[in-house]
Amino acid sequence: MAGACIKYSVFIFNFVFLVFGTAILAVAIWLREDKDVHEILGTGGLNINPSIAVNILIAVGAIIMMLSILGCCSTTQKNRFMMILFFIGLLLMLLLQMVAGFLGVTHKYKIEHAMNESLPGNLNLLTSTDEKGKTFQKALFKKQDKLKCCGLVNGASDWGNNFQYFSTSCECPSASDSSCTSYNGKTIYKQPCFSLINNLVSKRFSIVIGLAFGVAAVEMLGLLLYVVLYCQTRKT
């Protein structure tokens, strides 16, 4: 009776494991595909790649999905060799997620510090005409409409003479909205984008950290269940 209970518990764990793997992969790809933030960070003088931890999670999510299938097969067939393979794979995934989690923590604080130090000093990029400046401007232009903000630190004035070219994503739908103000004859968002971008990056790293350590806790339970199941198969 106890053996059957452990067996079904492991089977349920593998199903939950598959769901977690799919969720990790989907969320990690979503985080990875936000190219606007990457361009803002990349052209803003930050020498930190925010995608490293996310890339690890993409690999982890894909491998977890494959491992869950292996786990189901090893449980139903009571194949000790497959159980050992699953245990080793799960242990490696646990280590990878711990690495992703720690990278997320360290990069989160490094990027927050670097953004506070570097981005406000990059106001000249909004008025620049070189290629680096244009890349930064296009990335911020896309984010203004999504985040409902304008400019980087001081507001619309940060754009200088470029305001006429990038003002469309700054414009408010209603002049009576308290989050809007008038500038150069246009009704635009008065909130600068810097703090909003900072919060966005911080939240996304928090998601990476939460996924990495949260699923790691589930994996530790899975390792324990497989040790118990393997020991029972040796007795039979």
pLDDT of residue 37: 63
Q: Cβ(205)–Cβ(107) under 8 Å?
A: yes
CA distances from 15 to 72, 93, 110, 161 (A): 8, 17, 37, 57
pLDDT of residue 119: 64
In the predicted structure, residue 120 carries a pLDDT above the cut 80: no
- Give residue for tokens 């339970």: 221
Q: Please tell me the pTM assigned to this model.
A: 0.70
Amino acid letter, 159: W
pLDDT of residue 92: 82
Q: Kindly report, residue by residue over 211-227, the tens digit of the pLDDT.
A: 777 777 777 877 777 77
pLDDT of residue 135: 84
Mean pLDDT of 162-173: 88
pLDDT of residue 177: 76
pLDDT of residue 76: 65
Residue 33 is given by DSSP the state T
Residue 225 CA to residue 75 CA, distance in Å, equals 11
Structural domain spans, the chain: 2-36+48-119+199-235, 125-192
Length of the chain equals 236
- Give the chain's mean pLDDT: 77
At 24, the pLDDT band (50, 70, 90 cuts) reads confident
pLDDT of residue 150: 92
Mean pLDDT of 59-64: 80
At 188, the pLDDT band (50, 70, 90 cuts) reads very high
